[in-house]
Amino acid sequence: MSSLSNDVHITDLASPDYPDFIRQALDDVAKQPHVVLSPELAMAAAREQSGLSDFGDMDFMGRLGLIMQQMDSDADLSPMGRTLNFGYCVRNLVQRLRFVELLKAHPEIDQVAMQRPIIIAGLPRSGTTHMLNLISVDQRLRSLPYWESLEPFPSADEAVASGDEDPRIQRCRDQLALQDQIMPYFKNMHDMYPEHVHEEVELQFLNFSTMLLENYALMPKWRDHYLAEEQTPHYEYMRRALKALQWMRGPDRWILKSPQHMESLPALQKVFPDATYVIPHRDPVSVVTSLITMLSYSARMSRNPVKPHAIADYWVDRVERMLQACVRDIDSLPQEQVIHVRFDDFMANDIETIERIYAMAGHPMTEQVRNGMLQYIKDNPRGKYGRVRYDIKRDFGLNRDALYERFSFYTNRFDVTLEY
């Protein structure tokens, strides 16, 4: 538990205060030629970087075109933001090329059997990361470290000898070091390091259908397209990528987590019919307060000016849509495979909650795993770096009572504990 003296209220959300060397770096990027957010240029760059040319099924082109058009039309993206977003698209195009090449060389990947996954489907900032990190201590389960989520399929010329560190880990470390310089308080909200277990939502970026993209720009037309499109094919694509990763390195039962799953329950159930579905619930006003603060803070990497009120408006609406989808579709899941977890119960009894999840999943708890989880908790106490203190009215102009009324359809449905 952090002490109040170590806690932080971020006062420069709208007018970021950068160190001089970061300001200089941002100015240097701004002097470079204007980055053109073009699918054709991104695909050309991916071919050049990878030395490959086969993207597989080209049905992703329409989605990629809309994504990059929406990024391009976001007037508040800074030169750094345009550079970063172009790079994200190129990186995932490279990974798609390598994935296609791997499948051609090893068609047996499609025959890999995936055992009953445990899937966490809850709002961001609702304890899902702590839950995922605890369960991923269990080495009998396959999880996805952050470095691997960014570059799941290695380059053929980067073969790693036994005992050597994968170069993808150092690239991830370098990226996070820059992030820490620009956003020193980000770790107070969400501690990131290369081995940090991450979300498989990154794998859906390979097929260019994921809500993750909405973190990179305000993209209402993309959001509407994504929400209207049947997501089952994209979950099938993700499952195929998970099989490839499992083929490369076991074990054969996954622990998965993404907020996106909460609004895609029918597709999730079609593609992973034997899963155990864990549905965490937290006061959505607390979730929104934390989420929009984190997103407004991280926007300093890519937006100029940063407009916290606009970010808040977009994401309050986005969270409401996620909750509406969950309420609408929750009963479509086989109830004998669903476990609901309230945030306050989990925070008070985290190991006991994991044991309940394991019991439903038919996955026995062992003394070794329990001890590993207890050690993780000891090494990573809540508020390890100092907690961020929030002021939703001062920073975002939002009324807490109005938000509670707006989200009451969800809190009443699941008897969610209110935190204010």
159: confidence class by pLDDT, cuts 50, 70, 90: confident
Work out the average pLDDT over 375-381: 93
Strand order in the sheet with 253-257: 253-257, 115-120, 276-281, 338-342
pLDDT of residue 384: 84
Tokens of 161: 């000898």
Decide: helix, strand or coil at residue 413: helix
Report yes or no on 188 lying in a domain: yes
pLDDT at 357 exceeding the cut of 60: yes
Q: In which residue are the tokens 């809540």 written?
A: 382
Report yes or no on 17 lying in a domain: yes
pLDDT at 333 exceeding the cut of 90: yes
Report yes or no on 420 lying in a domain: no
Q: How far is residue 82's CA from residue 63's CA, in Å, rounded to a whole number?
A: 18
Residues 135/137/140/142 CA torsion (nearest 10 deg): 70
Q: How far is residue 196's CA from residue 371's CA, in Å, rounded to a whole number?
A: 19
pLDDT averaged over every residue in the chain = 95
Q: How many domains does the chain have?
A: 1
Q: How far is residue 264's CA from residue 417's CA, in Å, rounded to a whole number?
A: 24
Q: How far is residue 49's CA from residue 43's CA, in Å, rounded to a whole number?
A: 10
Report yes or no on 59 lying in a domain: yes
246-258 pLDDT tens trace: 999 999 999 999 9
Count of Cβ atoms closer than 10 Å to residue 43 Cβ: 19
Say if CB 332 and CB 273 are below 8 A apart: no
pLDDT at 2 exceeding the cut of 60: no
Q: How far is residue 358's CA from residue 285's CA, in Å, rounded to a whole number?
A: 29
Beta bridge partners of 115: 253
pLDDT of residue 385: 85
Report yes or no on 74 lying in a domain: yes
Tokens of 169: 């880990």
Domain extent for 227: 4-153+165-414
386: confidence class by pLDDT, cuts 50, 70, 90: confident
Single-letter code of the amino acid located at 63: R
pLDDT at 179 exceeding the cut of 60: yes
Work out the average pLDDT over 182-200: 92
pLDDT of residue 420: 87
4: confidence class by pLDDT, cuts 50, 70, 90: low
278-310 pLDDT tens trace: 999 999 999 999 999 999 999 999 999 999 999
216-275 pLDDT tens trace: 999 999 999 999 999 999 999 999 999 999 999 999 999 999 999 999 999 999 999 999
Work out the average pLDDT over 75-102: 97
pLDDT of residue 5: 58
Long-range contacts of 127-130 (CB under 8 A, 24+ apart): 127/280, 127/282, 127/341, 127/343, 127/346, 127/347, 128/257, 128/259, 128/280, 129/190, 129/257, 130/346, 130/350, 130/382
Element (H, E) at 118: strand 115-120
DSSP 8-state class, residue 35: P
306-323 pLDDT tens trace: 999 999 999 999 999 999
Say if CB 302 and CB 80 are below 8 A apart: yes
Report yes or no on 399 lying in a domain: yes
Count of Cβ atoms closer than 10 Å to residue 119 Cβ: 22
Work out the average pLDDT over 63-90: 97
Work out the average pLDDT over 9-25: 93
Say which CATH number the domain at 363 has: 3.40.50.300
Report yes or no on 159 lying in a domain: no
pLDDT at 213 exceeding the cut of 70: yes
Q: How far is CA 369 from CA 66, 252, 298, 347, in A?
A: 45, 17, 34, 19
Report yes or no on 126 lying in a domain: yes
Category of 56 on φ-ψ map: left (φ > 0), alpha (ψ -120 to 50) or beta: left
Q: In which residue are the tokens 């975002």 written?
A: 396
Cα atoms in the Cβ-side hemisphere of radius 13 Å centred on 383: 13
Q: What is the DSSP string of 306-357?
A: --HHHHHHHHHHHHHHHHHHHHHHGGGS-GGGEEEEEHHHHHHSHHHHHHHH
Q: Is the pTM of this model over 0.85?
A: yes
